[in-house]
């Protein structure tokens, strides 16, 4: 198998809201490919990223990572895979307001159990690689929207993810900033050889990916 991740016949039902999304959904994610996920609001794009990133479980189906079925693994084991394999970038940067940019970047490494000094060194080096070193001592509210999103990309990079999951990463940005953030994402994907799965409502953003997957509207159940 030449893919890093494979979803087979994945279905997700939310009984609380009586909706079924991703009915018997299949997806192969290749090494170092970029995939855009598009579809109407409520079609299950964020749900799909949550399942891929092991933040949520489907009701049915199989999920292989590096050819190993992972849905049956313990909560703890899944958390470990999440922390080592995936990076996340969201529409809103979700930086912790009272942490500096450096501390925000180091956060996934604290979760990994690194001592602060080691975590800060690694975070500093990622911030420098992305040209953001001058922001490291600032708090998130002291940054522009584009800078905040760049710092959240740096935070996602710090664990060297194999798959980066991005949920509408540019939808809150103006056109020029959007292009800059996209350039950064695609350059990093090329240099660091991770696969990129990006949700977007914007066709021009989707067109930059190697493949576009269209999700169908949710069904009431
Ligand atoms: N935790 C939950 N509990 C109940 N229903 C949920 C939950 N999460 C999502 N849903 C429902 O599942 C459907 C898909 O939600 P999802 O957030 O995946 O859509 P989306 O395609 O990302 O939409 P948008 O483009 O608006 O972000 C929606 O109808 C939503 O209300
Ligand atoms: Mg969404």
Q: What is the pLDDT of residues 198-210, one digit of tens each?
A: 999 999 999 999 9
Q: Is 202 in the pocket of ligand 1 (CB under 6 A)?
A: no
Cα separation, 80 vs 77, in Å, equals 5
Tell me the average pLDDT across 42-62.
Answer: 96
**What is this structure's pTM?**
0.95
Position in ligand 1 atom list of the atom nearest CA 199: 22
| Nearest Cα residue to 86 out of 103, 102, 70 | 70
Judge whether residue 219 has pLDDT over 80: no
pLDDT of residue 17: 85
Q: Is 47 in the pocket of ligand 1 (CB under 6 A)?
A: yes
pLDDT of residue 13: 94
pLDDT of residue 71: 96
Contacts (Cβ under 8 Å, ≥6 apart) of 120: 102, 103, 106
Which of 15, 17, 168, 217 is the best mutation target for the ligand 1 pocket, counting ligand atoms within 8 Å of the beta carbon and taking the most?
17
Which of 46, 48, 56, 59 is the best mutation target for the ligand 1 pocket, counting ligand atoms within 8 Å of the beta carbon and taking the most?
46
Q: Is 3 in the pocket of ligand 1 (CB under 6 A)?
A: no
Question: pLDDT class for 218, splitting at 50, 70, 90?
Answer: low
* Other beta carbons within 10 Å of 86: 24
Strands (E), 47-194: 60-65, 68-69, 86-89, 163-167
Contact 38, 200 (CB under 8 A): yes
| Nearest Cα residue to 123 out of 138, 133, 111, 113 | 133
Nearest CA to ligand 1 atom 9: 47
Nearest CA to ligand 1 atom 17: 46
Judge whether residue 1 has pLDDT over 60: no
Q: Is 175 in the pocket of ligand 1 (CB under 6 A)?
A: no
Task: Please write the tens of the pLDDT for every residue from 146-155.
Answer: 999 999 999 9
3-state helix, strand, coil in the chain (%, to 5): 40, 25, 35
Judge whether residue 124 has pLDDT over 80: yes
183: its two tokens: 């350039």
**CA angle at 208 for the pair 25 and 48, rounded to the nearest 5°:** 25
Nearest ligand to the CA of 219 is 1
Tell me the average pLDDT across 141-163.
Answer: 95
Domains with residue ranges and CATH for the chain: 3-220 (3.40.50.300)
């Amino acid at each position: 198998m030449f893919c890093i991740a494979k979803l087979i016949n994945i279905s997700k039902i939310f009984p609380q809201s009586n909706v079924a999304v991703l009915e018997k959904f299949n997806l192969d994610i290749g090494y170092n490919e970029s995939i855009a996920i598009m579809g109407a609001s409520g079609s299950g794009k964020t749900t799909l990223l949550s399942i891929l990133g092991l933040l949520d479980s489907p009701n049915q189906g199989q999920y292989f990572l590096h050819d190993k079925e992972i849905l049956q693994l313990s909560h703890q084991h899944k958390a470990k895979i999440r922390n080592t394999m995936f990076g996340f970038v969201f529409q809103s940067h979700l930086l912790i307001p009272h942490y500096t940019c450096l501390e925000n970047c180091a956060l996934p490494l604290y979760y990994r159990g690194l001592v602060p000094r080691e975590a800060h060194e690694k975070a500093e080096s990622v911030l420098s690689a992305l040209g953001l070193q001058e922001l490291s001592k600032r708090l998130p509210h002291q940054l522009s929207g584009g800078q905040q999103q760049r710092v959240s990309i740096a935070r996602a990079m710090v664990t060297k993810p194999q798959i980066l999951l991005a949920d509408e990463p540019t939808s809150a940005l103006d056109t020029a900033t959007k292009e800059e953030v996209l350039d950064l994402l695609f350059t990093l994907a090329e240099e660091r050889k991770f696969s990129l799965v990006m949700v977007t409502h914007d066709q021009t953003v989707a067109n930059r990916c190697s493949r576009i997957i269209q999700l169908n509207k949710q069904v009431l159940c």
